[in-house]
Chains A and B, each alone.
Chain A
Amino acid sequence: MAGILVYALHDDEGNFNKNSLGAISEAAKLAGEVGGDAAALVVGDIADDACASLGNYGAAKVYRAKSVPEGLAQPIVDAMAKVIQDNGLSYALFGGGLLGFEIGAGLTARLNAGVTMEVTAVKVQDGKLVAERPILQDSQIADVGYVGEPGIIISRLNAFDAKESGGSAEVIDIEVELSAWSTKATMVQRGEQRGADVNIEDADILVGGGRGLGAAEGFKMCEELADSMGGAVAATRAVVDAGWYPYAAQIGQTGKTVAPKLYLAAGVSGAIQHKVGMQNSENILAINKDPNAPIFEFSDLGVVGDLHKIVPKLTEAIKAKKGG
């Protein structure tokens, strides 16, 4: 039976990740086409009804490994490898993020299985799954098929929408024996929120700052520009990792997903992991000194120039226009 197993990531409160729910819905659709079921794997002590609720997104079965901790990849590789092998499943599907990359890669080694990543769509050809994998800065899309089973599919953030279909999943508890090396990493602290708790998700206008700002102080310029338009300020991972701006303001694969009326990027290169969190903005305006910056490939207005010259003058001009 061509079953598909999805890893259902959750936070410390037990809330399932939106991208995992999207992956379950996609798996249910695909399983229907190849003649099988979608199943989900949940680790940790998550309540029966919470697990069963994954049926609402299309999971027929939920395998729960209560004793396996959430948050680190290798114990989850042990659990997923067991479920795939015991039940002869054909594919594993991950929603975008970070852990899915690590677990999917671990399964590749463990099960000697093919893997694709950054997948934006999956289709069925001759009864098998084929992954659409954008490559080389999204300049081409490779259709990738699998040799043998299982096949591992790691999708791009927000590739699949969660669809509520009604229904409840059968919850099956499993015992997993952890590999020796899976117990050698321990979580000391999970999900630390660095910096102030800012809200970027409700803003109609966002000014996104990147490494091109040159220093933490550069964000003042962004804040003044955002203020002039009644907007908020967002950031890339590069500057959040550098401690220039709060994590709560980060857009992208391991940050927030936004879709404001205007996203104005200053000194942001437009890496895929950033793009996936803001590409649905209604209008994208980018200021970057490098004419070859990837962000210009998906901007509505691209300004090639030095942000230090342009941003302050732009702020003044907008203020003047609003005042006049």
Chain B
Amino acid sequence: MKICVLVKEVPDAAVQKRIDPGTMRLDRGGEKNLNPFDTHALEAAMQIREGGVIPVEEIVAVTMGPESAYRALTKAVSLGADRSVHLSDGALAGSDVCATGYSLAKVLESESPDLVLLGQQSDDGECYTIGAVVADHLQMPSLTQVIKIDVSEGKLRCERQAEYGYDTVEVELPAVISVGDAINEPRYPSLKAIMGAKKKPKDEKSIGDVGIDAGMVGADGSKTTVIALNPPPPKEAGEIIEDEDTNETVEKIVAWLDERKLI
């Protein structure tokens, strides 16, 4: 089977994320990294391949993003993907979930995967929704926040936590699955894999290459608009204690609890 893994480039965890008040979009300056949640999706793909129940011919990393996003693909390839596809086009800038999901579905359509894996959320937009949007466009069954996948011929048995506890769901392939971060412990790339990653095949696609309707993407094709940005309601800052001498720290905590009649 062929697995496509959706990966995204996001600001590094150490970067203080902010919205550019001019464009109302995320300031994408500063260090960037592969969305940490997507490494779990890549690892899940690798484990399905290594599990050997169903032969996996190919693992393809797919991203949509500006030119710089190729680095997320290089990282994905160093983590095990065989090749990558980069959808990049000026017309896509400012796409919302509706437009992004549609565009990713179009690229995926051109790959005809048996399984699409993605992360539980992106570290920047945190919209949690791309998987289900992509699935409906591809007319595939889907499930999000999956923490266990058992593969068998033509189907998956998945477990995930929902509102009332854990659900076990059988999903026929082809399917779109977003994985929760508890599904696995992603491996570190080997030095050899890092060195070799740049040599793996990489396809560049523009919107025309995959039949994306320019009117449905980008800021103009999006269905949501950010009207204003406001600060959250002010909240009294809490007290902070740095633990240097633990006996002293504990004394302060006990006094704090005592003052509030909690002990």
What is the interface of chain A, defined by CB distance below 8 A to chain B? 9, 11-12, 17, 71-74, 77, 97-99, 101-106, 108-110, 112-118, 125, 130, 134-136, 138-148, 151, 154, 179-182, 184-194, 205, 229, 237-238, 240-242, 247, 254, 261-262, 272, 283-285, 291, 296, 298-306, 309-310, 313-314, 317-318, 321-322
User: Can you identify 30 A-B contacts, CB atoms within 8 angstroms?
Assistant: A98-B163, A103-B132, A105-B136, A108-B129, A109-B102, A113-B223, A114-B96, A114-B223, A117-B127, A117-B128, A117-B129, A136-B17, A141-B230, A146-B224, A151-B223, A186-B170, A190-B165, A191-B167, A192-B168, A238-B182, A262-B257, A301-B256, A302-B238, A303-B253, A310-B249, A310-B250, A310-B253, A313-B250, A317-B253, A321-B263
What is the interface of chain B, defined by CB distance below 8 A to chain A? 17-19, 24, 96-98, 101-102, 105, 124, 126-137, 139-145, 147, 157, 161-172, 175, 180-182, 216, 222-232, 235, 238-243, 246-247, 249-251, 253-254, 256-258, 260, 262-263
* With A102-B144, A302-B240: A115-B224 Cβ-Cβ less than 8 Å: yes
Contacts of B172 in A (CB 8 A): 184-185
User: For the complex, what is the distance from the CA of A140 to the CA of B258, rounded to whole Å?
Assistant: 35
* With A188-B170, A262-B262: A314-B142 Cβ-Cβ less than 8 Å: no
Contact partner of A73 among B101, B132, B262, CB < 8 A? B132
The answer to whether A254 and B132 touch across the interface, beta carbons within 8 angstroms, is no
Q: Which residue of A lies closest to B221 (CB)?
A: A147
Q: Which residue of A lies closest to B102 (CB)?
A: A109
Contacts of A321 in B (CB 8 A): 254, 258, 263
Chain B: minimal CB distance from A154 (Å):
8
- For the complex with contacts A72-B169, A105-B132, A109-B133, 8 further pairs of A-B residues with Cβ separation under 8 Å are A74-B141, A101-B128, A109-B132, A143-B227, A144-B226, A192-B167, A301-B240, A302-B240
* With A74-B142, A241-B161: A106-B133 Cβ-Cβ less than 8 Å: yes
Chain A binding site: helix, strand, loop or mixed by DSSP? mixed
Chain A: minimal CB distance from B165 (Å):
4
* With A101-B129, A134-B232, A238-B181: A180-B224 Cβ-Cβ less than 8 Å: no
Q: Which 6 A-B pairs have the closest CB atoms?
A: A305-B243, A114-B223, A241-B182, A105-B132, A191-B164, A109-B136
Contacts of A242 in B (CB 8 A): 182
Contacts of A182 in B (CB 8 A): 141
Chain B: minimal CB distance from A58 (Å):
22
Contacts of B96 in A (CB 8 A): 114-115
Q: Which residue of A lies closest to B158 (CB)?
A: A185
Q: Which residue of A lies closest to B262 (CB)?
A: A262
The answer to whether B224 and A144 touch across the interface, beta carbons within 8 angstroms, is yes
